[in-house]
Structures are given as structure tokens and as C-alpha cells.
Structure 1
Amino acid sequence: MDREIPQAQLQKSQRRRWWQGGLAVVAVLLAVLAFRSVLKTSVPVSELRIGTVEVGAVEASITATGVVVPEKEEVITSPIQAKIERVLHTPGDQVTANEPLLQLDKQLSQTAFDKLRDEQQLKQNKTAEVRNSLQKNVNQLRSRYAVQEVRVKSLQAALADEQYLLSIGGGTQENVKKAELDLKVARLESEQLQRQIQDEKATANIGMKAVGFELEMQNRDINQLQRQLAQADIKATRAGVVTWVNEEVGATVNAGDPVARVADLSSFKIKATISDAYAEQVKPGGQITVRINNTDLRGEVANVQPKVENGIITFYVRLQEKNHQALRSNLRVEVFVLTDFKPNVLRVKNGPFFTGATEQAVFVVQGTKAVRRMLKTGASNLDFVELQGDIAAGEKIILSNTKEYVHLQELTLTQD
């Protein structure tokens, strides 16, 4: 016959089960925490980049993008409107001074030149006619003046005769007065002819000057067109390399349109672009570092273009070693605009650990552990970051990204 289990015993058994369950849960939690602790705080050294703090200079800089361009590149334009008839050189060809690059169809300009020259010949013929006509008028007036001068002398003699006759009683006062009046009229007519000759000469001079100006203007047009025709055989003005040429045979180009570029590839400069947010820090004369692969070249800002396009400013860099062997036309390079220079500071190589903040946590390696410290950062560039605070030269810090460990005070470094 079954007996009823005492209530005290039942409660004792229930408490035992609760304790066992609680201990199991605690054990699981401890195991999980221990596993996470091992997982999170143990990091193989082989997966980390570690750098040594040292004393040195740090050049603070802002980064721009650049491209290598020839220091001297000449743009050759078409002097006339014409069609491209023949391409004599293509990009990459070496050319000498005065070597032809393109051949243009000059027929249209040649026709205009011949027309101008014919018009000039006609103008010269008309000029000769005008000159002869003006000279003829002057000569006719001079002849009339000469006749009038003879008449004046004759009337002077007649007046003298009448005055003599009057003095001996053989003449009259009326005859003397008439002779005086005739002489006065003749002298006035002579003076009038003299003025007409002067006016005719002045008119002739003005007319000839006007015609001369027209001929001079026409001569300038002819000479200019003649020079343009001579330049229509597109030639290189200096020895160099063809960097671009309009190769569209049959295409029409207008006067002033670029048709070719010839560059001297013995020296280069850098064409760089940067956000206009840094406009105040990019000024002529500013120091520049240009990085080509693993080679750094020094230079300075030569000029800054005033125009801003889509929030970007363009500037040119004058290099100290403008003929360095690493320079190649159209090669893309990194450009660093130096904004500050700090000598003899604590620095470490730049790496993913650096967030750009003025104060941040870093992990300092101490044997098999890495301890977190809060340090201040100063000047920085692509290569180095200045460190300030509780750090000394010779200490090592983790350069890798340690964002996931930032909540921990230390890391365990393993050799696996």
C-alpha cells in the first residue's frame, strides 16, 4: 500500500532540482563568456601589422590627384579654313623642327588671295589715273596763272605809259584811272588762280593719301593671307613628339582650330586637381610632394587656375627634377600639398588604426599582450602619424584596424 510522501521532502527535492538547474545555467554562461573571451582577446601576431614609435619629422599634407604632362607642349592651330587633305604624322612620332605634320586643302584661300591681288592691281591702276587727273588740273591752272602774270605785266606797262602821257600833257586822267583799274582786276585774278592752284594741290594730296591708305590696308590683307597660306602646310615649330593630331581626313577645320600638339618630352610638370574646400591651402609657391610608385619628387605650386569646375580646382606643379626617369606623359600620380612641418616628434607609420580623430585608443604591445591607451594625434600624412601623450620612442603599437577590440583593455597575442 502506497504511502504519501511528506511535504517537507517534496520541497527539499524541488529545491535540489532548482539548484542543479541554476548551476547548469551558470556553467553554460561561464563557458560562453570564457569562449568569447578567448575568441575576442586572443589575436595571432601574424595577422597584425605592428609598427615601432620613432623620433622623426612629419609633414602634414592634403592629398590631390595629378597627371604628368609635358612642361612644354605647343598647340598648333589651323591658320585658315580648310579641309584636312593628308595626315603625315600620328601621335607618338618623333618630329624635327619645321617637319610637316598635316597637309590642308588651300584652294579656297588661294582663290581669295588671287582675288585680293587682282583687286590691288586694279586699285593701283585707278590710283595712277587719279594721280594723272589731279596733276593735269594743277598744270592747267599753272598755265592760266602764267598767262595771267604776263597780262599783269602788260597792264603795268600800259599804266606807266598813260601816267607818262598825262605828265607831258598828251594823256587824260580818265585813261590813267582805267589803266589802274584794269591792272587791279588782273592782279586779283592772278591771286585767285594762285589760290586755286594751292587748293587743287591740297585736294590732290588728300585724295592721294586716301588712296594710299586703301592700298596699304589691302597690302596688309594680302600679306596676311600670304603668310597664312605659307603656314597652311602644318609644321612642327620645334623638335619633339606628336602627342595629338586631328586624323579626320576630309574634315573641315576653321581658322584657329587646334589640329596638332607637339611636346618636348625631356621635361615634365604635374597637372593636379583637388576639392575647392582646400582652396586656401593651395597657393603659388606652396611645397608639394609627388609620389610615383615608390619614388617621391619635390616641387612647388607654379600656378592655380582661378576657375572652379564642379567643386574642383586645378593647379600646376613645377618639379625640381623635371626630367626624372620615372616621369611619363599622362601617368597618374599622387600629389601631396604640404600644410605643416614638424621636426623631431614621435611618429609611427600610418595604418588602418588611424581614424583621423585628434584623440583615439591605440594598442601598445607589451610582450604577449597589447594594452589599450588613449593618445592624441598631431600632424599626419600618407606615411606617418604624429603621436602625443603616454608613449615613448621604441614602443610598438598595432597598426591594423582594432575597431572591434576598442571596448577591451588588453589583447592576448598568440603565435598561431
Structure 2
Amino acid sequence: MIKDTSGQDKVLQPGLRRRLKLPLLVATATVLVSALVWAGLDGGDVSKSVDGAELKMATLTRGTLVRDIATTGKIVAANAPILYSTEEGTVTLLSQPGDMVAKGDVLANIASPKLTSNLRQQQAVLAGLQGSLERAKLDARREQLQANKALDMARVDMAAADRESRRGEQLIQASLISKIDYEKGKDELHKAGLMFKHAEQEAALMKDTLSFELKNKALEVERQALVVTELQRQVAALDVQAPVDGIIGNWLTEQKARISAGQPILTVVDLSAFEAELAVPESYADELGLGMDVELSFGGETLMGQLASISPEVRNREVTARVRFAQDSGLKLRQNQRLSARVLLENRANVLMVRRGAFVTSGGGELAYVVEGDVASRTRIKLGARSMSDVEVLGGGQEGDVWVISSLEGFGQAQQVRVR
């Protein structure tokens, strides 16, 4: 009888791979189920995850939004005149840059032989005209004297003729002279009267004529005096004087240089009044207005000022604006000292706002991610006014919402993102 094969059977122990196969299958199935469950949450749109440590978040709050413009600038003297040459010549600079000067001090001299010679010539012409005027006055007195002499002689002749006429009347009544002699005496009286009248008119006319000629001579002298006065002013202007108390800024020409009329020579800086000169980007130029408040920060000091002037032109994509602020003797200000500034455009009260971040540009100002727990959901938003630190939220958010304010480029336009 043949026995069974049980005696040949041998018990084999399972290998390590086979023992681990079942646990690995179970773990893989668990991960897949978890992923499916996670994907099924919130409508099944979670497709990305990001590290929360790399994100910046901010809570929407209500408050006063201060619209401002951050910029830089420098301290400049409110009054820093440039002195120019008035004539062509050789300049001699009498003060060094950095020297303190007082108003009226001579800072430079311009040697102009041509102008000096012209002044002397015109002064000689004036002296000649003045001599001619005095001579004309003497001639006028002489001619007036002659006219008065002729008038006096005519008066005497008329008196003599009148006396002879009265004598003739007495003689004709006594029949001592003929009628012809009597009438001759009357003619002599009439003739003397005419001569006196003409002499009187001649004397008056001579007086008017001499007065007119003297007036013309005086006008010539006056006109020449004005020419000399103007030349004297020009010669005096060859000494370039300080228009204000201050300090010499820079030489704008070389010592003993030959310069032309209207060429800049040097600058004088008035240290009693300073202003801030700001360079504002041209994109904000239309929002600037005179009188706006400006916060200035320099050398550890912060003070307020107001926009005093705005340049009408754009240079290097910037608009230059001047800020006037209260002067304080305690401030240590220097020409061209650098500073930072905030131009306060407006204050908006009771505004829903969030801290400004890279999400404004990366999301185009229309997208944001609202964080709830460990899920960030994409939502459409509408932003309004913006300041350097905050931005107004017009739609898409409520007070207390938490938004991702860092760059949204790593979210890949996903509808929902897990925050690890």
C-alpha cells in the first residue's frame, strides 16, 4: 500500500518582501483615500499647497486711510540768487566760496575799459553843454538888455514928442507958428507912439525867444546828464555786490577770466530761509496741489510743511515741488542735505482697508486669496484709493477677513490652496 506525501511536506516561512507587501498596500490605499477625501473638500478644487511661513497675511479693518506719496528730496535755500556780469570785461573775484558776506559787500569787480572811456567822453560832452547853457544865459541877458534899452529910448522919444505937441497947441492958439508946423508936431507924436509900441512888442518877443532858446539848451543838458547817469550806473554795476546776507556758494567762472555780458559769475546763498525740494514721480503730478501738507524727515528730525510751488514741466519723469516749512534756529540745516518726505494727499474716514502688499500688482488689483483655517480661497475684489501702507477695499471683502498680501504668483490661479 502506497502512503501519502505528508511526510515529504516542509513548512516554509514567508519572506520579508511578502510580509511587507500587505502593509504597504494598506498604507498606499490610506494615502489615496485621504487625498480623495481632501480633494473632495470645499467642492473638490484644492489643487495646490503652499508653505504658510512664506506668506504674508493681513486682516481687513476699518479706519482712516491717509493717501500719501513717498518721495525724496533735498534742502535748498529759499533765496539763492545767481550774480551775473553786466558788461563784457575781465572779472576779479574778491570772495572765496564759503565766505560769509553781508548785503552790499563787493564780491567781484569787472574791468571794462570801453565802458569807462565812454563814461568820461559823455561827461566831457555834458560839461560842454553846461558851458554852452551858461553862455546862452549871458547872451540872453545881453539881448534882453538891448531890447529894454530900445524900449526905454522909444519911451523917451514919445514923451518928447508929446511935449512938443502940447507946445505946438499953445503956439497955434497964439498964432505964433504955422498950421503946417503944428501938424508936423502931431505927426512926430504919432510916430513916437508907434515906435514905443513896436519897441514894447519887440522887448516882449525877445524875452519869449530867449526863454525858448534857454529851455532848449537846458533840455540838451538834461538829456546828456541822463546819459552820464546811466553810464555811471553801469560803471558802478561793475562792482558786483551781495544782494542778501549769506554765504558764497560757488564760483561759476574762473579768476581773471574774460567774460561776456550776462554771464553767471557766482552764487550767494541766503542761510536765513530754507525750503525742501522734492522729486515727485510724474504719475502723481496731477494729484498735487498747493498748500498740501508734507511730512519731512531728515537727520532724525520730523516736521510738517506745505507745498509752496509745483514745477509745470517734467524732467527725467519727475516733477519738482518746493515745500515751505517753519524755520527753527535749533534745526541744523545745510544746502543740498538729503531728506525723505510724505505728501499727504487726502484723509478718508471709515474706510475698509488692508495693508498694502505685492498681491496688488501680482493679482492685478482684482484677485485676492481669503484665508479660512488652512485653506486660501480665490475671490474677485475691487480696490480703491491706495496709500504707501494701506489700500482701500471697495468689494470682495468684509471687516475681519484675512487676506494673503504677499505675491500670488506661486498660487497659479488655483481656486483654493492649502496653507501648510
- From 40, 43, 51, give the equivalent of 1:43: 51
**Would the aligned equivalents of 1:375 and 1:388 in 2 still touch at CA under 8 Å?**
yes
Give the fraction of aligned pairs with identical amino acids, expressed as a percent.
Answer: 21
Q: Give per-residue Cα distances to partners, 1:360-383, cap 9 Å, x unaligned.
A: 212334454433333321211223
The CA distance in 2 between the partners of 1:239 and 1:129, in whole Å, is 50
Select between 67-76 and 55-64 the one with higher mean Cα deviation: 55-64
- TM-score w.r.t. the length of structure 1 is 0.75
**Would the aligned equivalents of 1:301 and 1:315 in 2 still touch at CA under 8 Å?**
no
**Would the aligned equivalents of 2:73 and 2:341 in 1 still touch at CA under 8 Å?**
yes
Match of 1:167 in 2: 173
Q: For 1:182-331, list aligned pairs within 5 A.
A: 182-271=188-277, 281-288=287-294, 298-304=304-310, 308=313, 316-322=321-327, 325=331, 328-330=334-336
CA apart distance, 1:65: 7.3
- From 106, 109, 112, give the equivalent of 1:100: 106
Match of 2:353 in 1: 347
Select between 182-191 and 144-153 the one with higher mean Cα deviation: 182-191
- Please tell me the residue identity of whatever aligns with 1:320: F
Match of 2:22 in 1: none
RMSD: 3.8
**Would the aligned equivalents of 1:87 and 1:249 in 2 still touch at CA under 8 Å?**
no
The CA distance in 2 between the partners of 1:395 and 1:325, in whole Å, is 45
**Would the aligned equivalents of 1:292 and 1:326 in 2 still touch at CA under 8 Å?**
no
- From 58, 79, 86, give the equivalent of 2:65: 58
Match of 2:16 in 1: none
- TM-score w.r.t. the length of structure 2 is 0.75
- Please tell me the residue identity of whatever aligns with 2:368: V
Q: Helix, strand or coil: the match of 2:359?
A: coil
- From 59, 70, 77, give the equivalent of 2:77: 70
Q: Label 1:276 to 1:361 Cα distance change in 2 as closer, same or farther (>3 A).
A: closer
Q: Helix, strand or coil: the match of 1:200?
A: helix
Match of 1:385 in 2: 391
CA apart distance, 1:146: 1.3
1:84 pairs with 2:88: no
Q: Helix, strand or coil: the match of 1:386?
A: strand
The CA distance in 1 between the partners of 2:317 and 2:153, in whole Å, is 88
The CA distance in 1 between the partners of 2:58 and 2:138, in whole Å, is 100
Match of 1:150 in 2: 156
Structure 2: give runs of 5+ residues left out of the alignment.
1-31, 40-44
**Would the aligned equivalents of 1:43 and 1:411 in 2 still touch at CA under 8 Å?**
no
Q: Give per-residue Cα distances to partners, 1:106-138, cap 9 Å, x unaligned.
A: 433322222222221111111111111222111
- Larger Rg over CA atoms: 2
**Would the aligned equivalents of 2:95 and 2:248 in 1 still touch at CA under 8 Å?**
no
Q: Helix, strand or coil: the match of 1:177?
A: helix
Match of 1:402 in 2: 408
The CA distance in 2 between the partners of 1:112 and 1:133, in whole Å, is 31
- Please tell me the residue identity of whatever aligns with 1:42: V
Structure 1: give runs of 5+ residues left out of the alignment.
1-26
CA apart distance, 1:151: 1.0
The CA distance in 2 between the partners of 1:215 and 1:193, in whole Å, is 33
The CA distance in 1 between the partners of 2:171 and 2:150, in whole Å, is 31
Q: Helix, strand or coil: the match of 2:360?
A: coil
1:411 pairs with 2:384: no
State the aligned residue count.
378
